[in-house]
Amino acid sequence: MEGRYSGRPISGSIVSELEGALLKDTDLFPYFMLIAFEASGLVRFAVLLLLWPVIRLLDFVGMGKLGLKLMTFVAVAGVRMSEIEAVSRAVLPKFYMDDVDMAAWGLFSSYERRVVVTRCPGIMVERFAKQHLRADEVVGCELEVNRFGYATGLLRRAEGSVADRVRGLFSGDMPDVGLGSSASARSFLSFCKEQQHPPFAADLKHGNQLIRPLPVIFHDGRLVRRPTPFMALLIILWIPIGIIVAFVRITVGLILPLQFIPYIVGIFGGEVIVRGRPPPPASGSTSGVLFVCTHRTLMDPVVLSMVLGRKVPAVTYSISRLSEILSPIRTVRLSRDRRVDAERIKSELEKGDLVVCPEGTTCREPFLLRFSALFAELTDRIVPVAMNYRVGFFHATTARGWKAMDPIFFFMNPRPVYEVTFLNQLPVEATCSAGKSPHDVANYVQRILAASLGFECTNFTRKDKYRVLAGNDGTVSFKSATPWMGRVKEVLGFLLH
């Protein structure tokens, strides 16, 4: 998918303000709240929220730059730059994308040379602007960093004004178009050949059709909604209640038999929506059914067992040991050695039904990752199951955080909803028994599951996800200068990763 018009870009240049032009909202506060929460924690998040009236007052009296410095200091002082960069890479792009003004994007993307100007530190914006908006350059302020790699919370003094820095990018030439709305944008708009202010109207001449920017497929972080002051207040007030609610829900789920839980889910504020007809349990004379599920959260196999009314073992790739211990169903940990894993799955199917999520990792957005073809080689009794979920406050998956907390965050939501859709068992002619290759079968299952959910298929894999979100391939390695600290981290890694 290309992030511009379907036709060729106009040979020219454009400079656009990010906040208030390419983004509909001019308010920077929610993005600093995200940095505070994801890079540091709840305490800094709460402190920044308490200072919001002061920041708002400074902006009202025309001292917005001082308010920006205050937000920056509270959000990042003492935080490792690598952590700020990680949040900017893995968390912020999703929230930026949700606020993109498509008309402004249409104008911006139709030019060959594109420059974004932001009031935020450039590190917060650069990944999104260059990768998703296809900007060539980003002009913003920079954070001061001490020699240990921690942000001081101060902004580095820039060499020249914003206008001078933009002018320097064009070697004295005038950009063809400038987009902006705030007073700060006037400094660079003044030397653009053409100035445009919101509301924008996309120019679709030459028969071009507007295509969305490159989508955000992978994103991390716990917060579902953009933390505006009101939403941040709701989150802080809900967290103590949510912890109690999660404890009660998990305790009830561990005590009661699975077949009783669907009847009481509504009492505890949840909902499970079931579509289609599940197959009956495998008889002793036949091999078990392999339920092939889309992978949205760690709870997928548990919810499926709850709907089926019986405990169906689940194949797992990399869940925490603590999650395995607390799981109400049996888990079968794979080694990622194809021959060994094939034998394990065959052995389990001989005993009865089994659940597998061939994406190998979760994906939050309406996309399906590439399916591993291993499952198609091992059985013809394949039942695709489309799993999806809805939450209000907290995401139940993470790539950078403690995976053992995933079920807790899921149950902390006021009204967690799961949707389970059973598709028909694959006909024999669609399996390997009819001469189909395992990859063809896996791709076919991926397509019909995506169609049932209204999702898109991709060729991305687990490694792609972790490279984007965590900067690694998903393998956790702890190193320490002292043996005792190394042992502590090793134990934590074993339990939580």
Residue 481 confidence (pLDDT): 38
Q: What is the CATH number of domain 256-496?
A: 3.40.1130
Residue 209 confidence (pLDDT): 58
Mean pLDDT of 313-342: 82
Helices (H), 91-136: 92-98, 102-109, 122-131
C-alpha 308/C-alpha 151 separation (Å) is 51
Q: What is the CATH number of domain 10-207?
A: 3.40.50.1000
Mean pLDDT of 191-202: 84
pLDDT above 50 (res 312): yes
Residue 419 confidence (pLDDT): 96
At 464-474, the pLDDT tens digits run 999 999 877 66
Helices (H), 334-405: 338-351, 374-378
Tokens of 138: 């980003």
Lowest mean pLDDT: which of 207-216, 235-244, 356-365, 400-409? 207-216
At 231-282, the pLDDT tens digits run 999 999 999 999 999 999 999 988 888 888 888 999 999 999 999 998 887 6
Q: State the helix-helix crossing angle for 52-60 and 42-50, rounded to 10 degrees.
A: 40
C-alpha 106/C-alpha 209 separation (Å) is 9
At 106-163, the pLDDT tens digits run 999 989 999 999 999 999 999 999 999 999 999 999 999 999 999 999 998 877 788 8
Mean pLDDT of 395-424: 92
- In this prediction, residue 381 has a pLDDT band, given cuts at 50, 70 and 90, of very high
* Core vs surface per residue 420-445: b (16+ CB within 10 A) or e: bbbbebbeeebbbeeebebeebbbbb
- In this prediction, residue 336 has a pLDDT band, given cuts at 50, 70 and 90, of confident
146 Rama sector, left if φ>0, alpha if ψ -120 to 50, beta otherwise: beta
Say whether the peptide bond before residue 199 is cis (omega within 30 degrees of 0). yes
Mean pLDDT of 377-399: 94
* Average pLDDT across the chain, whole number: 87
Residue 158 confidence (pLDDT): 75
Tokens of 201: 């109207």
Domains of the chain, by residue range, sit at 10-207, 256-496
pLDDT above 90 (res 167): no
Residue 402 confidence (pLDDT): 84
Mean pLDDT of 212-222: 92
Residue 56 confidence (pLDDT): 95
pLDDT above 60 (res 491): no
- Residue where the block lists tokens 């580095």: 156
Check residue 190 and report its DSSP letter.
T
Residue 27 confidence (pLDDT): 93
